[in-house]
Amino acid sequence: MRAILVAGAIGMAFTLFLTPVFIWLFKRLQWGQFIRDDGPQSHHTKRGTPTMGGIVIILGAVIGYFISKAVNFEVPTISAYLALFMMVGLGLVGFVDDYIKTHKQRSLGLSGWAKMAGQAIVSLVFTWFALRTPNEDGLLPASSFISVFRDTNFSFLTFGGVVGSILLALWFYLLVSGTSNGVNIADGLDGLATGASIMAIGSYVVIGFWQFNQSCSTVVENLSNCYQVRDPLDLAVVASAVVGSLIGFLWWNTSPAQIFMGDTGSLGLGGVLAALAILSRTEMMLVLVGGLFVIVTGSVIIQRVFFKITKWTTGIGRRVFLMSPLHHHFELKGWAQITIVIRFWIVSGLCVLFGIGLFYLEWTYG
């Protein structure tokens, strides 16, 4: 428990007190946000605001985690290394994307295929080690079974070793790319993605701590509902370090934002959220705790599909929303940015509470 508190406190202190230093540095390096012309007109005032703040978030989380382990004289676990690797790896992909945008002053960084390739490489490395590093009891960090609140009875390996492994790698990639891109799409208003990520990733502090208390290796009662999860408490420490780092960053990222997280932050946060879900055996629960990211991503998909269908059938493309993602639709309807952000935070919080509530009910009633 002390490691969870220390990780969160160090992560928050790092970003709260050192973000101004990075803001000054990024301004000197001219790492300013580029605003596309076809976006909401109110966003043009943000042009030049320092971006790539994800560097600060990731540094704060990593430093917070390792200091918490050192203070408690504990050795980091493979599960924590994997979660941090996913965050740093996808953060690096996002950094390259951000750097191209700021260096060439354009809205397009990496091409879609290049970004997908970067996500795929990080996901494959994660998958390889997650399925090939058992502990002394033979328990792996990740599982070949699809999970909801715990592993189900369906395993990809029922299709055979080779085919099953390929399908499993594709499944993990789908989770990683979907979650990281979802957070990236939600990062359109000051503090929106930061606050939603605090709640979504924060749910894994609760989940990890609960799984640790109800681990099959320690409980002597209610064995039918215990959890077969590798290093659940350390996953809670990682989640706490990320949440603490985000809270400190939000102080500077809230409206009017003095720094943006950029793709460096959004891809990294989506990556660690997906990793926590995979490693805690709660993959499908991502739809619940990351409900806001699902909603805003869904609005983009609906907009594009409806436009293409109407253009194909009538010759004139029509739109469901004034602009996608959904938060821009409400902007054009005249809602104040801070109103949208707070209301979306409420939606995110309700999704997280619903997910955690079902997680607890599943343990209670099986």
Q: What is the residue extent of each domain of the chain?
A: 2-287
- pLDDT at 354 exceeding the cut of 80: yes
How high is the pLDDT of residue 74? 92
Average pLDDT over residues 19-31: 91
- CA-CA-CA-CA dihedral for 100, 101, 103, 105, to nearest 10: 150
- pLDDT at 144 exceeding the cut of 70: yes
Geometric angle at alpha carbon 247, from 242 and 249, rounded to 5° = 95
Average pLDDT over residues 271-290: 97
How high is the pLDDT of residue 44? 46
Contact (CB, 8 A) for 187 and 325: no
Higher pLDDT, 350 or 40: 350
Cα torsion 223, 229, 232, 234: sign: positive
How high is the pLDDT of residue 47? 65
**Which residues lie below 8 Å from residue 22, measured CB to CB, with a gap of 6+?**
50, 53, 55, 56, 259
Q: What is the pLDDT of residues 95-130, one digit of tens each?
A: 999 999 887 766 677 888 999 999 999 999 999 999
> pLDDT-based confidence at 364, cuts 50/70/90?
confident
Which ranges in the chain belong to alpha helices (H)? 2-28, 54-71, 78-104, 112-130, 161-186, 192-213, 232-253, 262-279, 286-289, 291-314, 326-332, 337-365
Range in 107-111, 341-345, 358-362 with the lowest mean pLDDT: 107-111
Geometric angle at alpha carbon 27, from 24 and 28, rounded to 5° = 90
For the chain, percent of residues with pLDDT exceeding 70: 94
Give the span between the Cα atoms of 98 and 267, in whole angstroms.
Answer: 11
Closest C-alpha among 178, 247, 180 to residue 19: 247
- pLDDT at 209 exceeding the cut of 80: yes
> pLDDT-based confidence at 147, cuts 50/70/90?
very high
Average pLDDT over residues 75-91: 97
- pLDDT at 41 exceeding the cut of 70: no
How high is the pLDDT of residue 153? 93
Give the span between the Cα atoms of 76 and 204, in whole angstroms.
Answer: 18
> pLDDT-based confidence at 45, cuts 50/70/90?
low
Q: How many CA atoms lie within 13 A of 32 on its CB side?
A: 13
Q: CB-based burial of residue 148 (10 Å sphere; 0-12 exposed, 13-18 middle, 19+ buried)? A: middle
**Which residues lie below 8 Å from residue 172, measured CB to CB, with a gap of 6+?**
123, 126, 127, 130, 142, 278
Provide the mean pLDDT of the chain. Answer: 92
Q: How many CA atoms lie within 13 A of 128 on its CB side?
A: 7
Q: What is the pLDDT of residues 59-77, one digit of tens each?
A: 999 999 999 999 999 999 9
Range in 38-47, 91-100, 137-146, 270-279 with the lowest mean pLDDT: 38-47
Q: What is the pLDDT of residues 234-258, one digit of tens each?
A: 999 999 999 999 999 999 999 899 9
Provide the whole-model pTM: 0.94
Average pLDDT over residues 164-170: 95
